[in-house]
């Protein structure tokens, strides 16, 4: 037998609904206020946009309990650089020093084997070139080596195998002087 009043269920629901908290330092964006509407707007933003990217949602000059004000928007005299949202073809010049110190076995790996800086540099450059090539096949790479003078070893190419073949043919040189 139900003895509850007909209006009590509605009153309980009203008690569950909390009032939105004001924007404070501990709750700058009104997180509880956005929790309910966040699910509806998940797919509405394009890549790279969000709360941090939209300046119209930020509080401007809102006073907080201790009397200080929130910082306003960026001044119009400050320069802002916008990066493109697409991959642009890049021309990357890789410069490698072939001094004799690069061949000294002074670097030790986790298993105790010693290697030199030239071998590590070659492997690192190969990983970089192959990864950049996977991101965008239009990226071009050139290899410059420095020993007694600076020399273009390979011109700009988008073929990572060509850059890597030039890279692994390198040997260090005893250098007495250097001139650009």
Residue 134 maps to a domain: yes
17 assigned to some structural domain: no
The predicted model scores a pTM of 0.49
Residue 118 maps to which CATH number?
A: 3.40.50.410
Residue 27 lies in a domain: no
- Residue-wise pLDDT for 57-69, tens only, equals 444 444 555 555 5
Say if 161 falls within a structural domain. yes
Q: What is the DSSP string of the chain?
A: -----TTHHHHHHHHHSPPPPPP-SSSTT-HHHHHHHTTTTGGGSPTT-STTT-STTS-SS-B-TTS-B---SPPTTS--PPPPSS----EEEEEEE-BGGGGS--EE-TTS-EE-HHHHHHHHHHHHHHHHHHH-TT-EEEEEEESSSEEEEEEEES-HHHHHHHHTT---B--S----
52 occurs within a structural domain:
no
Structural domain containing residue 148? 91-167
Residue 147: pLDDT band (50, 70, 90) is: confident
Number of domain units in the chain = 1
Average pLDDT over residues 119-137: 92
């Amino acid at each position: 037998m139900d003895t509850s009043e007909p209006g009590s269920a509605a009153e309980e629901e009203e008690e569950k609904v909390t009032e939105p908290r004001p924007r404070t330092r501990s709750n700058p964006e009104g997180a509880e206020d956005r929790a309910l509407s966040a699910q509806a707007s998940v797919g509405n933003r394009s890549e790279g946009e969000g709360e941090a990217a939209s300046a119209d949602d930020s509080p401007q000059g809102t006073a907080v309990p201790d009397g200080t004000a929130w910082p306003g928007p960026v001044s119009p005299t400050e320069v802002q650089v916008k990066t493109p949202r697409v991959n642009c073809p890049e021309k990357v010049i890789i410069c490698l020093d072939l001094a004799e110190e690069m061949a000294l076995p002074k670097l030790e790996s986790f298993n105790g084997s010693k290697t030199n800086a030239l071998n590590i540099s070659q492997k690192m450059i190969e990983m970089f070139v192959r990864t950049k090539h996977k991101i965008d096949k239009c990226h071009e790479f050139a290899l410059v080596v420095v020993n007694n003078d600076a020399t273009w070893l390979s011109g700009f190419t988008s073929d990572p195998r060509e850059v890597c073949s030039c890279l692994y043919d390198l040997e260090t040189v005893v250098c007495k002087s250097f001139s650009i």
